[in-house]
Structure 1
């Protein structure tokens, strides 16, 4: 039997990835300043406990976001959904999903024009043995 294709997306296609992990990285402002989560996206998880979800208030600036180790804290999805039940259905979506809710909005809206950040690692490649040795001595 041939598959049937429709123009409308199947919700199962957007929530059917293998689910691993139980932690999201959440802006410290959610807990320190008691601000609601208003923007979130799911990236590819970085480790087995990571769901890939990153959640923000919308008040974070570039300097704040640059210091992830200090300003993004791991929190269980269970705790987040208990604090804000509107997250419960959204956290079932696959990597690549982005959501936001504005202060004047009643609920969450899907975002399609946000470029999810990709972690980068700087790598220097050389075929010069002496250059390689010098670079190792500097580090």
Structure 2
């Protein structure tokens, strides 16, 4: 069983109603900020399409599905509030952060 960085009683309603997402354990378990995020075509009605990473995961790390969790987008917003202004971006959106920075830039530009 995974032990997430935040306990359920620490989760505040910051970005509710977006659905589920896939998040790297570097964010959800280790507590690193989101460094890279993109929105894929949702797989079902509950999937937001959002995928969140710390940004420094190796290919081997990414290739192991055990390193990811399916969580509500609101939970990820509680790990890193800087994602919130971007959550209404369309499918195909992709954002990156400068290493050690707080601001995302459009990775498609």
Q: TM-score range by the shorter chain?
A: 0.7 to 0.9
Q: Is the 8 A contact 2:82 2:102 kept in 1?
A: no
Number of equivalent positions: 93
CA RMSD of aligned residues (A): 1.8
More strand by share: 2
1:89 to 85, 93, 100: 85
Task: Please list the CA deviations of residues 21-69 of structure 1 after superposition, one character each: whole Å capped at 9, or x if unmatched.
Answer: 601100011132221110010000112211110110112111111122x
Structure with more contact order per residue of length (Cα contacts < 8 Å, sep ≥ 6): 2
Counterpart in the other structure of 2:67: 71
Question: Secondary structure at the residue paired with 1:80?
Answer: helix
Unaligned segments of structure 1, at least 5 residues: 1-19, 114-139
Counterpart in the other structure of 2:106: 110
TM-score, normalised to structure 1, is 0.61
Unaligned segments of structure 2, at least 5 residues: 1-16
TM-score, normalised to structure 2, is 0.76
More helix by share: 1
